[in-house]
Amino acid sequence: MKNRTLYLSLSGFFLCAAAMPVRAQEKSKEELKLETSAAELDKKYTEGQVRVAQMIKSEFGVDGARMVGLRSMNIGYGEIAIALGLAQQMRGAVTDENLRRIMALRRGPPAAGWGRVAAELGLKLGPVLGKVRKIAARVRKQEKVAGEKKDKRTGDDKNGKPEKLATSGKPDRPEGAGPAQR
């Protein structure tokens, strides 16, 4: 009986201990929204990648060399926008040192979510979320305008709908296929 009680209490302890890291890794609503907006920027636009990079450069006031440096870290444009947004809130604004600190916290060990990175640096995700959403909306708008211009150049006035065939309305019936005659 003692072995069974010991076994049950130990298994309960390990079950609770295993659940703690999972609970600690839960993401806030704000962090989930931020990651969704970042993923939208990361979509593979063939012509749009240049537009996304230009939007990020103009929003955060960074040069092409800094963008290339961040892209060489194998992160997408969405994560670049988040890192730059957090760096803007730090003392000294967007500097290489601030970006290194942010990316070191993000990559770990242990790897941290954007919410934890912001919390450890004493920053807020709200302003970053606003900027990332603003960039995503501007990119969507430019993609839409670019798509409309492309449609006009190709002469597609019906938004991809096929033309209707001119028919009399009823299909022709072959002889003897109608109702039986009396």
Q: What is the pLDDT of residue 100?
A: 93
Tell me, rounded to whole angstroms, the distance of Cα 59 from its chain centroid.
Answer: 18
Token pair of 50, please? 């240049």
pLDDT averaged per 10 residues in sequence order, the chain, 182 residues: 57 53 66 80 65 89 90 90 94 90 92 92 93 89 80 59 58 64 54
Q: What is the pLDDT of residue 29?
A: 85
Q: What is the pLDDT of residue 23?
A: 47
Q: 10 Å Cβ neighbour count for 110?
A: 9
Token pair of 175, please? 């002889």
Query: For residue 24, what are the contacts with CB-CB under 8 A and spacing of at least 6?
Result: none
d(CA 174, CA 116): 74
61 within 8 A of 97, measured Cβ to Cβ: no
The one-letter code for the residue type at 164 is K
For the chain, the straight-line distance linking the first and the last C-alpha, in angstroms and rounded, comes to 93
Preceding amide of 162 cis, omega within 30: no
90 within 8 A of 121, measured Cβ to Cβ: yes
Q: What is the pLDDT of residue 22?
A: 47
Tell me, rounded to whole angstroms, the distance of Cα 142 from its chain centroid.
Answer: 17
Residue labelled with tokens 């601030």: 98
Q: What is the pLDDT of residue 134?
A: 92
If we measure between CA atoms, which residue out of 79, 84, 39 comes closest to residue 61? 84
